[in-house]
Structure 1
Amino acid sequence: MTLAAVAAALAAVTGIAALTAPGAPAAEGKKSAAARMPVERSVLVCPAPSASDIAETAYTSFTPGKGADAGKGAARLLGATKDAKVVLEPKEPGKPVGAASSGSEAPALTGIAEGSLAPGWTVQQTTKVSVGRARGVLGVGCTVPGTDFWFPAASTAKGREDYVHLTNPDDTAAEVDVKLFGPEGPVKTEPGRDKSITIAPRSSQKVLLSTLAPETQLDDITAHVTTRSGRVGASVQVAEEGVGADWLPASAEPAGSLVLPGIPADATSVKLVAFAPGEEDADLTLRLAGPGGSISPAGNEQLHVKAGMTASVDLKDVTRGEAGSLLLAPADEKKAVPVVAAVRVVRGSGAKQELGFVPATGPVGARATVADNRPGENATVLSLTAPGKADAKVRVTASPGTEGGEPEVKEFEVKAGTTLAVSPPPAPSGGKGPYALTVETLSGGPVYAARTLTLPHEGVPMFTVQPLSDDHSTVLVPKAVQDLSIPTS
């Protein structure tokens, strides 16, 4: 091609680009602000619910919003296998959808929501086992798959069975590492157990933590799940002989200050477990935010956490009849060392005990949702905590039930440094079946929240606690313009 022909071709391309390019920026040198837009796709993973033949599991799916003007969307929740059956298929935002399964064969699930059903998509899995070693109510919010999870308050002690469930929602294999940390640091694993675990595409595995270190029995450990490749959903299922069973969700990411919201008012035993993943020790102050303000637990005002080691403290019946939230902060504000934390909670006594877990969680932010709330006296308690120095105002919306009804909306003010236990919370009018609660921050400081669901059985206060955190239903999308200029040095 001659030089003239090349020049002509370049001129033609440039001319076409100029005709089809978007309008020029408003002013040279000024950047366009990014727009906040709804997410267009959400992925969730639910672990296999139970190994018990008498397990009864309920699934509840909900996306906040209104179906009338939401536009097109689709969502499906199905087994984590290539030829799995669909369990749930919601059709529009604003209306919860329920499903049920029974027995030990219920599989782990994966789900994808797109379009109008993606922003804030929430699925709750609630299992009730009436008798047996793993009896109790086991509740877990289906999680977004990731690459890094911390589980303080796990255990390899005699009488405990802690399984970490690993579910791969993708079409490629995931390589997963599970490391344990006790009061003396890293727990030495059995030869051959220090290798990564391969999770095949669209499949799930569970690993008994005590088999990773069969010669070590520790009451309190921290399990760290990471991936070398791929991503997984991870949750720890706990069964404690003579006490009960529940899911231990992952703690919030390591931070210098943490909030563990929604410890039940009638807790008979509360144990805090914390871990410092870095190279520095952490000195933490402990405060309990109750309905009248924040207090330091007598004799347990501070906790020292050595670097790379798990620390625990028995707070006993610290709530003393009033729902509260545990606030962890650095003893020296100039030296904030990141930590992760969770509490093991027991309600009842003797043969009528049941356990649950409250992990550190993130704030409600703009909006957070929890599904599968049940009508009835004291069945559902919503805890709202404002840990800072500013009061906060929130809006709580109850969706219709899975069998109809009209939504209800109420606003609540949460005083600084307090926990407000809303019992009963708003519920749909004229509806039946499980419903969703959506919490929105309207003004003031940050708010943290948790939902306690209680389903008693033969005198046992079976319960489960799920934290609420920002659903990240919107993302910042920077504005872009076409620029054919060639930068010069």
Structure 2
Amino acid sequence: MNRTTLSLIAGTAALAAVTGFAVLGAPDASGGGDTAGAAARLPVERTSLVCPAPSTSDLAETTYTSFTPVTKGAAGSGGKAELRAAPEAPGEAGAKTGGSGGGKDAGVPAVEPKAPGTPVTGDTSGAGGPALVGTAEGRFAPGWTVQQTTEVAAGTGRGLQGITCAEADTDFWFPGASTASDRTDYVHLTNPDDSAAVVDVELYGKDGALKSTVGEGITVRPHTSEPVLLSTLGDTPQNDLTVHVNVRSGRVGAAVQALDDTLGGDWLPASADPAGTLVLPGIPKDATAVRLVLFTPGDVDADLRLRLASRSGTITPAGHETVHVKAGMTTTIELGDVTRGEAGSLVLTPTGQPVPVVAAVRVVRGKDAKQETAFIPAARPVGERASAVDNRAEGTTLSLTAPEGGAKVKVTASAGSEGGTAVSKTFTVKGGTTQDVEAPVPAGVRGTYALTVEPLSGGPVYAARTLTATEDGTTGFTIQTLPDDRGMVAVPVADEDLTVLQK
């Protein structure tokens, strides 16, 4: 402890003598004396999430599902969780055409769960549904997860579109967007706070940054959402782009909605933070076309080894042993039907010096006029726990990947939103493999349910959930990765220690 700190403590001696003083103990030079215990892992007490506006289609049917897993040590019986509307900001440059410009009353809760351990759902129909801003407190906060699932019967982006509502932040990377003539892509910016946010949206194609000033200094007013049509930010259509959302002041929730005229559409969530090693989990076994899109934000090229972790082990796709990613330029690799009947996950590792990279894959299933699209960004590992919600007794697939070493994983199916009893099952995933596991289904389930994944031992685990629905013979699907739910936080142990006043 330095002299300045000691002086400040001495200056508060009178107060400390009455109330005591909480400090962190530290070992002395000899290693003796009392020390503070290791940091405790405690449940968070507040969580905030942002859901983008779901659709501009009159044929859209959207379901919101809210779920908090039961967490030991969570704050008693108090707290609440709710989602409220964040109206679309009218009259801003780049705003979405066809929006309602307001949506539901911002003071009315859209979804309000009653207790942890059981999902609760809310529905909306047609175009113009607003973005939602949510807050969970007390026992509802640890691991709070919200899924937004939209079914669009026909038209651009038809099929199943799903996204896990995420925390607001200040920096996002979206490899896999497009301004091609058959695509209509928006980046949705939602400000959950009381002050305005100022955002730059930058686009990078195969030749580098697209020259445009339209995306600079976009103001997102407090508690509103701003959809920006990507094709308005550049003069030349590009098949594959990387979108960078950089928040100058404040913070926003951000997601890209990628809608195709013939291949359906889905949400493209942000890639995990730029890193030298990336995992993209849960590519379906019946994928007919897989396109990998990569970008390195720095000024150094990246060379990566590309592997596929499948059910039978790790393989190298023929002709794609390594990938060279030029600095500041979007790189695209067509992998075709790389999974060949076995669920798989892409694992990217540096061939030499690690260089930070972001990545995502576009997955196509089906043939001819019955094709549908989903996206998988590079993901964070499950960590301590993660949940996927809005699962159905039919049409849910859970993929687990252990890219480094084998792992034992517990999967719990919650009670159903309309009834049923929770049940758990434990799986062993071999190192270097991806397994589509037979996830448990709640006994007597009615409605939808949550799947909570908890690694018990072994190496890091990555997970993804595929949700499938068939409409008029076309199979719509959406894929969500399961990163750590950040429901637990390390809190240093503090002790009352009056001896500091004598030092």
Same fold (TM over 0.5): yes
- Flag the 1:406–1:487 CA change in 2: closer, same or farther, 3 A: same
Aligned to 1:326: 346
- Which whole-Å CA distance do the structure 1 matches of 2:73 and 2:200 have between them? 45
- Which whole-Å CA distance do the structure 2 matches of 1:302 and 1:464 have between them? 28
* Alignment check: 8 A CA contact 1:73 1:91 kept: no
Aligned to 1:6: none
Deviation of the 1:78 alpha carbon: 1.1
Aligned to 2:208: 185
In the alignment, does 2:73 pair up with 1:74? no
SS in 2 for 1:18: helix
Structure 2 residue corresponding to 1:138, chosen from 161, 178, 190: 161
Spell out, residue by residue over 1:250-294, the C-alpha distance to the aligned partner (whole angstroms, 9 max, x if none): 000001010000001110000000001111100111111110001
- Which whole-Å CA distance do the structure 1 matches of 2:486 and 2:10 have between them? 45
- Which whole-Å CA distance do the structure 2 matches of 1:485 and 1:110 have between them? 45
Structure 2 residue corresponding to 1:375, chosen from 393, 396, 409: 393
**Normalising by structure 1, what TM-score?**
0.92
Aligned to 1:455: 469
- Flag the 1:26–1:147 CA change in 2: closer, same or farther, 3 A: closer
Q: Tell me which moved more, 85-94 or 73-82.
A: 73-82
Deviation of the 1:67 alpha carbon: 9.8
Aligned to 1:292: 312
- Which whole-Å CA distance do the structure 2 matches of 1:220 and 1:380 have between them? 29
Spell out, residue by residue over 1:224-243, the C-alpha distance to the aligned partner (whole angstroms, 9 max, x if none): 00101111100000111111
Structure 2 stretches of 5 or more lacking a match?
A: 1-8, 29-33, 88-104
Spell out, residue by residue over 1:427-470, the C-alpha distance to the aligned partner (whole angstroms, 9 max, x if none): 11012111000000100000000000000112211000000011
- Flag the 1:454–1:242 CA change in 2: closer, same or farther, 3 A: same
- Which whole-Å CA distance do the structure 1 matches of 2:127 and 2:22 have between them? 60
Deviation of the 1:133 alpha carbon: 1.6
Deviation of the 1:34 alpha carbon: 2.2
- Which whole-Å CA distance do the structure 2 matches of 1:344 and 1:25 have between them? 49
Structure 2 residue corresponding to 1:410, chosen from 421, 425, 443: 425
* Alignment check: 8 A CA contact 2:71 2:142 kept: no
- Which whole-Å CA distance do the structure 2 matches of 1:177 and 1:95 have between them? 39
- Flag the 1:170–1:15 CA change in 2: closer, same or farther, 3 A: closer
Structure 2 residue corresponding to 1:397, chosen from 388, 399, 412: 412
- Which whole-Å CA distance do the structure 1 matches of 2:247 and 2:26 have between them? 46
SS in 2 for 1:479: coil
- Flag the 1:487–1:177 CA change in 2: closer, same or farther, 3 A: farther
- Which whole-Å CA distance do the structure 1 matches of 2:333 and 2:502 have between them? 60
Count of residue pairs brought into register by the alignment: 470
Aligned to 1:21: 20
* Alignment check: 8 A CA contact 1:157 1:218 kept: yes
* Alignment check: 8 A CA contact 2:21 2:498 kept: no
Aligned to 2:66: 61
The CA RMSD over aligned residues, in Å, is 2.2
* Alignment check: 8 A CA contact 1:79 1:87 kept: yes
Deviation of the 1:54 alpha carbon: 1.1
Aligned to 2:263: 243
- Which whole-Å CA distance do the structure 2 matches of 1:24 and 1:199 have between them? 41
Structure 1 stretches of 5 or more lacking a match?
A: 1-9
- Which whole-Å CA distance do the structure 1 matches of 2:168 and 2:70 have between them? 24
- Which whole-Å CA distance do the structure 1 matches of 2:11 and 2:482 have between them? 56
Q: Tell me which moved more, 97-106 or 70-79.
A: 70-79
Aligned to 1:275: 295
* Alignment check: 8 A CA contact 2:397 2:465 kept: yes
Aligned to 1:41: 46
Deviation of the 1:397 alpha carbon: 0.2
SS in 2 for 1:169: coil
Matched letter for residue 399 of structure 2: S
- Which whole-Å CA distance do the structure 1 matches of 2:73 and 2:208 have between them? 55
SS in 2 for 1:384: strand
Matches within 5 A, 1:304-319: 304-319=324-339
Aligned to 1:88: 111
- Which whole-Å CA distance do the structure 2 matches of 1:146 and 1:328 have between them? 25
- Which whole-Å CA distance do the structure 2 matches of 1:416 and 1:446 have between them? 10
Matched letter for residue 366 of structure 1: E
- Flag the 1:224–1:365 CA change in 2: closer, same or farther, 3 A: same
* Alignment check: 8 A CA contact 2:17 2:498 kept: no
Matched letter for residue 154 of structure 1: A
* Alignment check: 8 A CA contact 1:54 1:130 kept: yes
SS in 2 for 1:112: strand
Aligned to 1:151: 174
Aligned to 2:102: none
Matched letter for residue 417 of structure 2: T
- Which whole-Å CA distance do the structure 2 matches of 1:113 and 1:202 have between them? 17
- Flag the 1:487–1:465 CA change in 2: closer, same or farther, 3 A: farther
Q: Tell me which moved more, 115-124 or 68-77.
A: 68-77
* Alignment check: 8 A CA contact 1:73 1:92 kept: no
- Flag the 1:35–1:159 CA change in 2: closer, same or farther, 3 A: same
Q: Tell me which moved more, 242-251 or 72-81.
A: 72-81
Aligned to 1:4: none
Structure 1 residue corresponding to 2:281, chosen from 261, 273, 286: 261
In the alignment, does 2:492 pair up with 1:478? yes
Matched letter for residue 76 of structure 1: E
Aligned to 2:400: 384
- Which whole-Å CA distance do the structure 2 matches of 1:173 and 1:478 have between them? 34
Deviation of the 1:15 alpha carbon: 4.9
Q: Tell me which moved more, 341-350 or 24-33.
A: 24-33
- Flag the 1:28–1:384 CA change in 2: closer, same or farther, 3 A: closer
- Flag the 1:137–1:19 CA change in 2: closer, same or farther, 3 A: same
Deviation of the 1:158 alpha carbon: 1.3
- Which whole-Å CA distance do the structure 2 matches of 1:11 and 1:427 have between them? 60
Matched letter for residue 71 of structure 1: S
SS in 2 for 1:211: helix
Deviation of the 1:223 alpha carbon: 0.2
SS in 1 for 2:465: strand
Deviation of the 1:134 alpha carbon: 2.0
